[in-house]
Structure 1
Amino acid sequence: MSPRNPLTLFSKTVPALGALVCAAVVATSPVPAAAQDNSEARLRRAEAEIRALQRAVFPGGDGRFFEPQITSDGAPSSTVTTRTPSTTAVTDILARLDAIETQLQRLTALTEENTNALSNMELRVAALEEQRSAGAVTTPSPSGATPQPSNEPIATNSNLAAMSDGASDGSEDAQSAAAAGPSAERLAAVQEITKPQTDDAGDDEYSYGFRLWNAGFYPEARQQLASYVEGYPDHSQISYGRNLLGRAFLDDGMPEEAARWFLRNYQADRTARRAPDSLLFLAESMIAMGDTRRACIALSEFGETYPAVATGRLADQYESNRRRVTCDG
């Protein structure tokens, strides 16, 4: 069936419209009162038929030709409401995905900022700990006060001859000097190193050993630090004490004894604050002993175990030791 031609339909309906108009005119002419009610009903029916013809001639409900019969409030409306197409499910999903991606970008940026902040804090804490240890030596006495010697003498003929660490340097000259005892000048210089007196006895013992080592009194420092390590094995500074004891040997030209303490400190707790230092000093001790193979092993393990320290706090010492040896691979 072919679609209707609006022009044909219009030509067919025009006569009907004319007839209806005539009927409407006749209905509005003066009539007796008894016939007025019937005429009103016929007029309403004619208007309804005209609207029906309008819809047939002009399909689609276009507001340009006729108004909608019923509105939301039940009254005739003179305006046509245009509906806004609602968003589809795909549109909602895309909008939510965009919001999630934006949040992920912000979280990623915050994570990177926090990581950098933590790295900077670790470096600052390490620097503060170094300053704290150094402050035990550089803290001056109150103005006008005379440093008081410790009640426990350190440099004497007996305690220098038998150090509590039980290690000797293997040198006949050193053994002869220890047997002869320290000079009066050395005794006086050692006695000028004061021992701290605080509420933390373990920290006092360690700090005193640090002061002796920092002043260059390595035998006395070894004795003091060995006493600290033996007497306070669970102290918070024990990793510092074992590492510094190894340095007291290494700085005094005894790399073999130093290597033993560095290895012991590293193996005791690889997560301790001075464990990376001891491993790096172990490599330095091996270099001093001419053992290139073990030095390379220590340097390799240091770089693998402590990559952040190897590129941060101990980067210069690490690179310096690497330049001193030639390692395979």
Structure 2
Amino acid sequence: MKNLAGLALAGAVIATTPVPALAQDDVSEARVRKIEAEIRALQRQVFPGGDARFFEPEINTQQGTPSNPSSATSTTAVTDILARLDAIEAQMQRLTAAGEENRNAVMLLEERLEALEAANNPAPVVEPAAEEAPATQSNLSAMTGGASTVEPARPAQTAEPAPAQTAGPSEERLAGVQEIMKPQTDDAGDDEYTYGFRLWNAGFYPEAQQQLRLFVDQHPDHWRATYGRNLLGRAYLDDGKAREAAPWFLRNYQVDKQAARAGDSLLFLADAMIALEDTNRACIALAEFGDTYPALASGRLQDQYEASRQKVTCN
């Protein structure tokens, strides 16, 4: 502003100063025009819109209170995000609840299937090997706190499918066994176990015992091994041979207490002790089962557990 005022004053002084000679008029005029051009140039720099066309009024009477579109837009965006987050959380809660319900339903179905399988799984008439007898005997003794009265079954000396039949199995029995089909899949161990299960389910206990013993001996590390040992004990128990069944139940329980049929075997061990009228060991097995497998005692095996407890009087 000071430069502008100075230039204006200089221009005024030059414009009003008399020129002594006509020769100086052109020079003075040129200088004045140059100064005026510089003043206008400076004015354009200081006031880019120096006339009324470019100056905006300080008060705009044609508009109300100026709005803040950026703020409104921001508020709307945040509101939308919060609403979407609430919707997502609600949906996640519904999905989580549905997942829990589905998982519980699947667990119930698995328990029912296991119960049906356990009720229909025969075990071959194969008894623990002679070299395994001392370990089984000592394990039972350790569990019961005294000398074991249950001796491991001796190896079968005959391979007759029918028990105690000097003349051999009848034609009707042979025909019935032949009707039981053995599966042929890529899993040989599973095929052996399934065939034993089918024999047991059909009531051919001696044949089922032999088949399941074959499976246990040839596939000790198979994922169905715990099922095979348990069913082998059940085949003996269902065939009225509680003494032969007990070592298999105990062995299956002690091999892996977290296995799928370890809890079943411990409870069936108590049933075998009850059948042998060994109340002390039956009570020990029942107490061990209740402490180790509370979920089974109040779930899938609850009825069997309660029925077994009703058969004996434990301190």
The bucket for the TM-score relative to the shorter chain is: 0.5 to 0.7
In the alignment, the residues of structure 2 paired with residue 313 and residue 226 of structure 1 have an alpha-carbon distance, to the nearest angstrom, of: 26
Q: Is the 8 A contact 1:164 1:227 kept in 2?
A: no
Q: If the length of structure 2 is used for normalisation, what is the TM-score?
A: 0.54
Cα distance in structure 1, aligned partners of 2:283 and 2:168: 39
Residues of 2 paired with 1:292 and 1:164: CA distance?
24
1:95 paired residue number:
none
Using the TM superposition, give the Cα deviation of residue 223 of structure 1 relative to its aligned residue in structure 2, in angstroms. Answer: 0.9
Match of 1:93 in 2: none
Q: Which amino acid aligns with 1:262?
A: F
What is the CA–CA distance in structure 1 between the aligned matches of 2:255 and 2:202, rounded to whole Å? Answer: 28
Indicate the SS of the match to 1:183. coil
CA contact (8 A) 1:195 1:204 kept: no
AA at the equivalent of 2:206:
P
Equivalent of residue 211 in structure 1, options 176, 198, 214: 198
Alpha-carbon offset, residue 111 of structure 1 = 7.0
The counterpart of 2:261, out of the listed 262, 271, 274, is: 274
- State the identity as a percent: 51
Counterpart of 1:119 (choices 85, 92, 104) is 104
Instruction: Answer yes or no: is the 8 Å Cα contact 1:246–1:261 preserved in 2.
Output: yes
DSSP-derived class of the 2:271 partner: helix
Task: Work out whether 1:198 is the aligned partner of 2:184.
Answer: yes
SS at match of 1:180: coil
TM-score w.r.t. structure 1 length? 0.52
Per-residue CA distance 1:47-97 (angstroms, 9 max, x = gap): xxxxxxxxxxxxxxxxxxxxxxxxxxxx79xxxxxxxxxxxxxxxxxxxxx
1:114 to 1:197, Cα distance in 2 relative to 1, 3 A: closer
Larger relative contact order (Cα-Cα within 8 Å, sequence gap ≥ 6): 2
- C-alpha distance in 1 between matches for 2:226 and 2:181: 20
Deviations 1:176-229 (A, max 9, x none): 963724232354244334232322221111111112212222221111110100
In structure 2, C-alpha distance between the alignment counterparts of 1:134 and 1:280, rounded to whole Å = 14
Note the alpha carbon deviations across 1:257-291, whole angstroms, 9 max, x for none. Answer: 11110111111111211111111101111111111
In structure 1, the gaps of 5 or more residues are: 1-74, 77-103, 138-153, 155-159
Aligned CA distance change for structure 1 residues 294 and 119 (closer, same or farther; 3 Å): farther
The 8 Å contact of residues 209 and 222 in structure 1, kept in 2 or not, is answered as yes
Shift of 1:128: 3.8
Answering whether residue 295 of structure 2 is matched by residue 318 of structure 1, we say no
- Aligned AA for 1:125? E
Aligned length: 216
CA contact 2:226–2:260 (8 Å) conserved in 1: yes
Instruction: State the distance in 1 between where 2:212 and 2:278 align.
Output: 27
Consecutive aligned runs of 4 or more in structure 1 exceeding 4 Å deviation = 104-117, 129-137, 163-166
**Pairwise CA RMSD:** 4.3
Change (3 A) 1:252 1:168: farther
Correspondence for 1:258 among 225, 234, 245: 245
Mean Cα displacement is larger for which, 203-212 or 277-286? 203-212
